[in-house]
Amino acid sequence: MKIYVIGIGLIGGSMGLDLKKTLNDIEIIGIDTNKIHLDDALSLGIIDRIGSLESITEADRVILSIPVKESMHLLPELLDKIHADALIWDVGSTKEQLCKLISSHPKRDQFLAAHPIAGTEFSGPQAAHKGLFQSKPQILCECNKTRPDLLLWAKQTFRQMGMYLRFMEAEEHDKHMAYVSHLSHISSFMLGKTVLEKEENENNIFDLAGSGFESTVRLAKSSPAMWTPIFEQNKENVIETLEAYIKNLENFKSLLANDDYEALFQEMKNTNQLTSILNGISKK
Amino acid sequence: MKIYVIGIGLIGGSMGLDLKKTLNDIEIIGIDTNKIHLDDALSLGIIDRIGSLESITEADRVILSIPVKESMHLLPELLDKIHADALIWDVGSTKEQLCKLISSHPKRDQFLAAHPIAGTEFSGPQAAHKGLFQSKPQILCECNKTRPDLLLWAKQTFRQMGMYLRFMEAEEHDKHMAYVSHLSHISSFMLGKTVLEKEENENNIFDLAGSGFESTVRLAKSSPAMWTPIFEQNKENVIETLEAYIKNLENFKSLLANDDYEALFQEMKNTNQLTSILNGISKK
C-alpha cells in the first residue's frame, strides 16, 4: 500500500511514523514545498522516498496535512487524480469550508474529513514522533459521505493507532473548536503581546514570570503560518468567541473598578469547576 | 531557633520543609485558621507543633504566608509583639500597600518584604513539598529598610534554599507582577468562563480540547480566596493591564473582521519572540 503524506510536519510526520508501526507492507511517500523538511523526513526515516503531485495516481491513501487554506486549493485536484479505491483524509483544524467545497465532487466519497486533536506548539518533521496520537481524540466529520469500505478501513486504522473516535457535523466541529482551541490561541498570543509591549526593554523581568505565565503563553509559540488560515476559515465563529471573551474581561474589569470583590470571588469560584472537568480529561 | 509559619499552605508549608533541611536546631511552629490544615501539616511533618498568636513573643523568625489582605491586618500587630531580634518576612504577591502600611512602624526594620515566585495552581499543606524553591526567584523589596544583620541572615538562608535573589522597589514589583502574573490569571479565569458558558451542557466536548486549552486555563484552577485580595491590592495596575490586553484583543478581532490576514500573521509572528525569551527562562 502506497501512502502519500502531503505536508511532512508534526502531524503528517507523526502519522506516517505510526502508520508504519501499525500496517504491514506500506510505503510512505512524502511531498512538501519545503525541501529541508523533505530531507529531514527522509533522514529521520519518516518517509521512504520523496514523491510528487504528478505521481499521486499511484497513491492508495493520501494524508493531507498542510495549512487548511492550501488544502482548499489542492483537495479538488487530488480527488480528480486519485484511483478509484484510494482514500484521502485531511487533518485540518477547520472543516466546514473544506467539506462545502467538495460536497458535489464526483469523488466526494473518497474523502474523509478528520481532525486529530494532538497538536503541540512545535512544528516541522523534527517535532514528529511515534505515539503522538495515543489516547487522543480523532474527530471525523460527515462520515456518511465517505464510502463505507474506505471509512471502515480508516476507523480501524485510527483505532489501531490508539485514537478514540468522535463524530460530528463539520459546522458543529468548527463552532466547538473556536471555543476550545482557537480562542485559547488568540488569548495566548495577545497575552504575550501585551506583556512584551510593556516589558520589551526589560527582558530580564521575564525571569520573574513564574511557570504560570509560561503555561498561559505556551500557545503563543505556535506557527502563524498554520494559524492565520485557521482563523480565516473559521472567521465568524472565532469573532463570536472573541466577543464573548472580551465581554467577560470587561465585566471582570468593571467588578474590580467598582470594588465588588464578592462578585470577583464568585466569578473565579464558578470557573474552578474546570478543575474537575480537566482532571476528568487527564484521567482518560 | 523558633520559626513560626502563619498560614500553612503551599508556600508556607514548603518553606517550612526547606528550612528544616537547611538550618540546624530549628523548631517549626504552625498557626492557621484552618484546623484541618494544621492537623495535616502536623501529620505530614511540616510543623513540629501548633502555636498561637499569643505565643508569638517567643518567635525568632515569622513567615507570614496568608492572603495579602489578612497580612495587612496582622502584620502591625505581629511587629508590636515580636522580640528585638526577631525577623518577619511575608511571601505575598503584592507589596506596595503592605510596605506603605508599616513604613513608620517602630519595628519596620524587623520586616522583610519577600515574594518567592514559586506558586502553582494548587494550595494547602498537601500541596507543600521539599525543593519547591530550588532555582526560583525570590524578590526582595525595600531591602534598605530591613536591619542589615537580619537582611544578611535572610539572604543567606534563601540562597541556601536554592533561590536566586532579585531586588526592587515595592511599587515597581507590583507593576511588573500585574503584567507577568496577575493578568495571566485573569486571562485564564475568563477564558475558562467563556468556554464553560458556551459548552456547559456539553461537557463531553471538553475531551476535544487538547492540551492547548488545558495549558491555557491551568491557572483557572487557582484559589479565589488567594487571588481576590491580590487583585484588590493591585487594583490600579491590574486594570491598566486589562485595558491593554482588551485593546489588543479588540485589535485582533478588527483585523480578522477586515480580512487583514497579513497583519494577523505579523501580530503572531512578533509574539513568537516569546519563544526564545521563555526558552531562556527554562534553561535557568
Using CA atoms, how far residue B230 sits from A264, B181, B227, B284, in Å, is 11, 11, 5, 27
Sheet of A111-116, strands arranged across: A49-50, A27-31, A2-6, A61-64, A87-90, A111-116, A137-141, A164-168
pLDDT in tens, A83-103: 999 999 999 999 999 999 999
Complex ipTM: 0.84
On the CB side of A130, CA atoms within 13 Å amount to: 9
Contact B195 A183 (CB under 8 A): yes
The answer to whether residue A134 neighbours chain B at the CB level (below 8 Å) is no
Once rounded to an integer, what is the mean pLDDT over residues A136-142? 95
The three three-digit cell numbers of residue A198, written as one number: 510593556
For position A111, what pLDDT does the model report?
98
Q: CB-CB: which of A119, A225, A267 is closest to B193? A: A267
Instruction: Give yes or no for residue A16 having a pLDDT over 60.
Output: yes
pLDDT band at residue A174 using 50, 70 and 90 as cut-offs = very high
Q: Is A30 helix (H, G, I), strand (E, B) or coil?
A: strand
Instruction: Count CB neighbours of A29 within 10 A.
Output: 22
Instruction: Give yes or no for residue A284 having a pLDDT over 90.
Output: no
CATH class of A173-283: mainly alpha
Once rounded to an integer, what is the mean pLDDT over residues A257-261? 97
pLDDT band at residue A283 using 50, 70 and 90 as cut-offs = very low
Superfamily, domain B2-170: NAD(P)-binding Rossmann-like Domain (3.40.50.720)
For position B100, what pLDDT does the model report?
97
Residue of B nearest to A278 (CA): B214
Mean pLDDT of chain A: 91
pLDDT tens across the length of chain B (284 residues): 999 999 999 999 999 999 999 999 999 999 999 999 999 999 999 999 999 999 999 999 999 999 888 999 999 999 999 999 999 999 999 999 999 999 999 999 999 999 999 877 777 888 899 999 999 999 999 999 999 999 999 999 999 999 999 999 999 999 989 988 899 999 999 998 988 888 765 555 666 777 678 888 888 888 898 899 999 999 999 999 999 999 999 999 999 999 999 999 999 999 888 777 766 654 44
Closest chain A C-alpha to B88 CA, distance in angstroms: 23
d(C-alpha A90, C-alpha B57), whole Å: 70
Residues paired with B54 in a beta bridge: none
Q: Is B61 helix (H, G, I), strand (E, B) or coil?
A: strand
pLDDT band at residue A40 using 50, 70 and 90 as cut-offs = very high
Domain limits, chain B = 2-170, 173-283
The answer to whether residue B254 neighbours chain A at the CB level (below 8 Å) is no
Picking from A11, A123, A132, A190 by the largest number of B CB atoms within 10 A of its own CB, the best residue to mutate is: A190
Instruction: Give yes or no for residue A65 having a pLDDT over 60.
Output: yes
Q: Which CATH number fits domain A2-169: 3.40.50.720, 3.40.190.10, 3.40.50.970, 3.40.50.2300?
A: 3.40.50.720
For position A206, what pLDDT does the model report?
64
d(C-alpha A59, C-alpha A83), whole Å: 8
Q: Which residue has the cell 524553591?
A: B133
Quick one: which H or E segment has residue A120? none
Once rounded to an integer, what is the mean pLDDT over residues A185-212? 77
Instruction: Give yes or no for residue A63 having a pLDDT over 70.
Output: yes
Phi, psi (deg, nearest 5) at residue A227: -85, -30
Using CA atoms, how far residue A150 sits from A7, A57, A94, A108, B228, in Å, is 22, 17, 22, 12, 55
For position A196, what pLDDT does the model report?
85
